[in-house]
Structures are given as C-alpha cells and as structure tokens.
Amino acid sequence: MKICRTIADCRTTVASFRAAGETVGLVPTMGFLHEGHMSLVAAAKEAADRTVVTIFVNPTQFGEAADLDSYPRDEERDLAMLEAAGVDLVLIPPVQEVYPDGDETIVETTRMANMLHGLVRPGHFRGVTTVVARLFNFVQPDIACFGEKDYQQLQVIKRMTRDLAFPIDIRGVPTVREADGLAMSSRNVRLTAQDRQAALVLSQSLKAAEEAAAAGTTIEALREVIANTIHAEPRATLRGLDIVGAEDLSDLTGPLASPAAIMISVEFGGILLIDQRVVTP
Ligand code: AMP
C-alpha cells in the first residue's frame, strides 16, 4: 500500500495505474476509521481495479475551531485497517497541500447547501464541496463512494458532480450500524456512557417512523412520531428534523405519497449526531 503526502506523489502513482489500463475508485474520509468507512472501501474495491482512500480532516467544513481541534485522529490504526483491506493508495495531505493559498476558490451548491443540516451548520456543505472538488481533481477517479448516512452530503456531491461535469460515478453506500442500531460515527467515542445509551433514540425514532409510513401516514404525523420519541429522552436535544423528497430534497406536506428522506440531528452534551432513513408509503 502506497502512502502519499503530496498531490504530486499521488498523481504519479495514479498515473501508473492508468498506464496499466486500470480503473480507480476513491473513498474520501476524515480518518479515525470504523466499519462504516470500511464498507465504502469494500464498495470501491468491488467497483474499480484500484482503490484510493484519502484521510484529511478538512478545516473549511468545521464551524468551530474547537470542534476541529477535538476531532479524533489515529493515523497508525487507520493505515493498518486500510492495509488489511487491500487498499492500493492512501493520500494523507497536510492542510498546506490541499489549501496552499487558502480557500479563495470555493465550490458551493447554492440551494442544497443552505437548507436542512446546512442551516444548523452554516458553511459546512460549502467546505465539503470545496474539498471534494479538490480531491476529485487530485485523484481523478472513475468512481467515488459516499455514505448514505450523510444523506444531504451525498445528494449535494451528486449535484456538484453533475453541474461541474466531473466524469465520476458517485455511489451511495448504506449506513453501517452498531449491533444496537446506533449509526457508526467517529464522533461516537466522544459520548459519555450515559449519552451513548441515550443516543439509541435516533435509530429508534426512525424505526417508529418507518413503521408509521408502512401503515400509511402523513408528513406531519411522521414529524410528530419522531419528535415525540426524541423528546422522551431527556439527554437528547433535537437540533434538526427534516422530511424531504428522497431525490431532490424538496419540501413535502400532506399524505406520504412518494419516497421521503427523513434526516435528524440530535445533540448530546455538545456532540451532534445524525441519522437518516428513506421511507416509502
Ligand atoms: P467522515 O470520515 O465522517 O467524513 O466519513 C467519510 C465517509 O464515510 C462519508 O462518505 C460518510 O458518509 C461515510 N460514513 C460515515 N459513517 C458511516 C456509516 N456508519 N456507514 C456508512 N458510511 C459511513
């Protein structure tokens, strides 16, 4: 497994793959890897001849410096996991390599970035699309894998890829969960034991919504089911609850008549967790 810390080194290695006629799959991450990330790696390996993983804690997508500074990191462990999974190249660029002259040039999906989770975390999706566009240009992959867990992010990246005509096939990969249902996240380790237990309310509320959807319901009733479940947990603070068209994130009201994406963000002692589910009538 080749480890690159510069764009130039990464490009040389990817060029050698291309010269051999091989296709390239990319998995962008912020490191501190878990089984969720590894399922993206498995999907990329399945879809392309060579797999490239990037580890970069992107400063432009964090609202608060404290959140950025406390983001968990463990490079040695990450590299051991990627090596064991048969990854071909890992790009771990310093901030200076990705933003040598700052972030004068930004990429933004203007509508989709500034709705839903984007309202809770202003500037977040602009930072994501800016860094992913740069990573796409560094690696120039044929396919790139992103988790459905970050549902709005996945839709934002699909839209950016289409609008900027990147010749890259964007693949969404289903959320990997702990045995008790909590969506795997690098942030989970920062929860206290009590908050970790209370965090089950995210997947429980989505399950309740799924059951209501299957029985026939309205968007308003779905909102109530989720809000009631989360409000019943005193350690949880509901920060975002959105039910939108699964493809275009459009507003929905009235009877559930087409696939809807439910996106929730819930805070536990300063740690923001997210989860999502697409429900069908
Ligand atoms: P992050 O390192 O948090 O930026 O995540 C990198 C990629 O892994 C993103 O595309 C996430 O959506 C994806 N991801 C994170 N957690 C999970 C999970 N539990 N299951 C599947 N994919 C995930």
pLDDT per residue rounded down to tens, the chain (281 residues): 999 999 999 999 999 999 999 999 999 999 999 999 999 999 999 999 999 999 999 999 998 888 899 898 999 999 999 999 999 999 999 999 999 999 999 999 999 999 988 887 899 999 999 999 999 999 999 999 999 999 999 999 999 999 999 999 999 999 999 999 999 998 899 999 999 999 999 999 999 999 999 999 999 999 999 999 999 999 999 998 999 999 889 999 999 999 999 999 999 999 999 999 999 98
**In the prediction, which pLDDT does 165 show?**
98
pLDDT of res. 123? 96
From ligand 1's centre to the CA of 37, what distance in Å? 5
Answer yes or no: is the C-beta of 147 below 6 A from any ligand 1 atom.
Answer: yes
pLDDT for the residue numbered 90: 98
Report the candidate in 279, 249, 33 with the shortest Cα–Cα distance to residue 152: 249
Check residue 117 and give its pLDDT: 84
Amino acid at 82: L
* pLDDT at site 116: 87
Take atom 7 of ligand 1 and give the residue whose Cα is closest: 29
Quote the pLDDT of residue 132: 98
Give the distance (Å) from ligand 1 centre to CA of residue 107.
21
* Cα 31 from Cα 27, distance rounded (Å): 11
Residue with tokens 């779905």: 222
Pocket of ligand 1 contains residue 202 by CB under 6 Å:
no
Strand partners, 170: 144
Q: What is the pLDDT of residue 67?
A: 85
Cα 36 to ligand 1 centroid, rounded to whole Å:
6
Ligand 1 pocket check for 39: Cβ under 6 Å: yes
Ligand 1 atom closest to Cα of 147? Answer: 12
Whether the CB of 203 sits within 6 Å of ligand 1:
no
Has this prediction a pTM greater than 0.85?
yes
Closest ligand 1 atom to Cα of 186: 3
Q: Using a 6 Å cutoff on CB, does residue 173 contact ligand 1? A: yes
Burial of 110 (0-12, 13-18, 19+ CB in 10 A): exposed
Q: Look up tokens 């549902």; give the residue.
A: 151
| Contact in structure between 54 and 29 (CB atoms under 8 Å) | yes
What does the H/E/C string look like for the chain?
CEEECCHHHHHHHHHHHHHCCCCEEEEEECCCCCHHHHHHHHHHHHHCCEEEEEECCCHHHCCCHHHHHCCCCCHHHHHHHHHHCCCCEEECCCHHHHCEEEECCCCCCCCHHHCCHHHHCCCHHHHHHHHHHHHHHHHCCCEEEEECCCHHHHHHHHHHHHHCCCCCEEEEECCCECCCCCECCHHHHHCCHHHHHHCHHHHHHHHHHHHHHHHCCEHHHHHHHHHHHHHCCCCCEEEEEEEEECCCCCECCCECCCCEEEEEEEEECCEEEEEEEEECC
Residue 36: both structure tokens together: 């969720």
Please name the residue whose Cα sits nearest to atom 17 of ligand 1: 36
Instruction: Set out the domains of the chain in order of their start, with CATH numbers.
Output: 2-173 (3.40.50.620), 186-275 (3.30.1300.10)
> Cα of 148 to ligand 1 centre, how many Å?
8
Ligand 1 neighbourhood includes 40 CB (under 6 angstroms): yes
